[in-house]
Amino acid sequence: MTIVINMRDGLDERKIKVAGRLIIEGKLVAFPTETVYGLGADALNEKAVRRIFEAKGRPADNPLIVHIAEFDDLKKLAREIPKEAKLLAEKFWPGPLTLVLPKREEVPLVTTGGLDTVAVRMPAHPIALALIRASTPIAAPSANISGKPSPTLAEHVVDDFYGRIEAIIDGGPTWVGVESTVIDLSSERPTLLRPGGLPLEEIEKVIGPVEIHPAVKGKAVDLARAPGMKYRHYSPNAPVVVVEGPRERVREKIEELIAEYRSKGYRVGVMATEEFEADEFFHLGETLEDVAKNLFRALRELDRRGVDVIIAEGVEERGLGLAVMNRLRKASGYRIIRA
């Protein structure tokens, strides 16, 4: 049985207590953060954490992020806290930034996917912070079935997990919309492992140049040689194609593709920052912030409306655009069309 705890009108300490109890008892509770919804369990309880992997269908070697509510909790999880970690935490926590640090023995290897490091973040959502305070540090991946778009509404979590976890806290829509930026501070040089809700430029202002892990950019291959299923991630049921290039040419290319797919009898969905005449259209908004916020919702929503193919407009890769393009390219399985 899953209880859906309504907190759309704001924090309710009595309900938080109930949810916090469930975490302490080793149960699974999905909760909102400012980025996406998380599927939470007591980070130090192996059995509970194992259930997260089972529920998501997540490979056991893909580590989880541990969520904390006070800086002092970091000392209980990380063996060493380098000065970069202190500087970044001071400036950006609570917020969409995750730091990877050498782990303490107390953190189970199940939580860290067998690694000697632990990823930690302090989320900037009052419900998430209250839930952690009412329980313990919480391990939480995004609350989606592995491979599907991350959830930015409680409804998305209900779709994926109703009947399979103990509780879902509905805190309304999340406001960042893409997951946290992950920075590895456990090796010699600070390295970006995943672009996310905190732009890399902001991080570099505080700690100087950050290396970019080669996996971050992914590869832009042409349609004919797309590796396909192997890289599917963040994917709705309908195939996604991303159109990238100079703005004017992108518009033209999208119109061309709509016509082409429609002539084959496909129901075509488009997600973009300006209007298009398609079978289904989702307006992503105008700014990069809007696009980040609406991205995952658009993928799920166009799927729900039953389109056969989704055409997504690419955006520039600066600021939040780096995270947006990383998610879009993965969602498309690298079916990228250059305009």
Chain residues binding ligand TXA by CB under 6 A are 33, 35-36, 38, 62-65, 96, 98, 100, 112, 115, 117-119, 123, 140-142, 179-180, 182, 193-194
Q: How far is the CB of 86 from Mg ion (least distance, A)?
A: 27
Residue 135 makes contact with Mg ion by CB under 5 A:
no
Q: Is 174 a residue that touches Mg ion (CB under 5 A)?
A: no
Instruction: Pick one of ligand TXA, Mg ion, none as the site partner of residue 38 (Cβ within 5 to 8 A by kind).
Output: ligand TXA
Closest by CA position to 169, among listed 316, 82, 58, 40: 40
By CB atoms closer than 10 A (0-12, 13-18, 19+), residue 102 is middle
Q: Which does 115 bind (CB under 5 to 8 A by kind): ligand TXA, Mg ion, none?
A: ligand TXA
Q: The tokens of 67 are what?
A: 């969520």
The number of residues in the chain equals 339
Helices (H) and strands (E) in the chain, counts: 11, 16
142 near Mg ion, rule: CB under 5 A: yes
> In this complex, which beta carbon is closest to ligand TXA, that of residue 131 or of residue 311?
131
Q: Does residue 317 contact residue 325 with C-beta atoms inside 8 Å? A: yes
Q: How far apart are CA 66 and CA 219, in angstroms?
A: 29
117 is in an annotated binding site: yes
Residue 294 binds which one of ligand TXA, Mg ion, none, with CB within 5 to 8 A depending on kind?
Answer: none
Region from 72-80, 141-149, 237-245, 263-271 binding Mg ion, contact rule CB under 5 A: 141-149
Please name every residue paired with 241 in a beta bridge, in sequence order, or none if there are none: 311
CB of 320 closer than 8 Å to CB of 327: no
To the nearest whole angstrom, how small is the minimum distance from the Cβ of residue 146 to ligand TXA?
9
d(CA 127, CA 171): 7
CA angle 226, 227, 231 (to 5 degrees): 120
Q: Of 107 and 268, which CB lies nearer to ligand TXA in the complex structure?
A: 107
Query: From Mg ion, ligand TXA, none, which one binds at residue 68 (CB under 5 to 8 Å depending on kind)?
Result: none
Q: Pick between residue 102 and residue 245 the one whose CB is nearest to ligand TXA.
A: 102
**Residues of the shown chain interacting with Mg ion in the complex, contacts defined by CB under 5 A:** 142
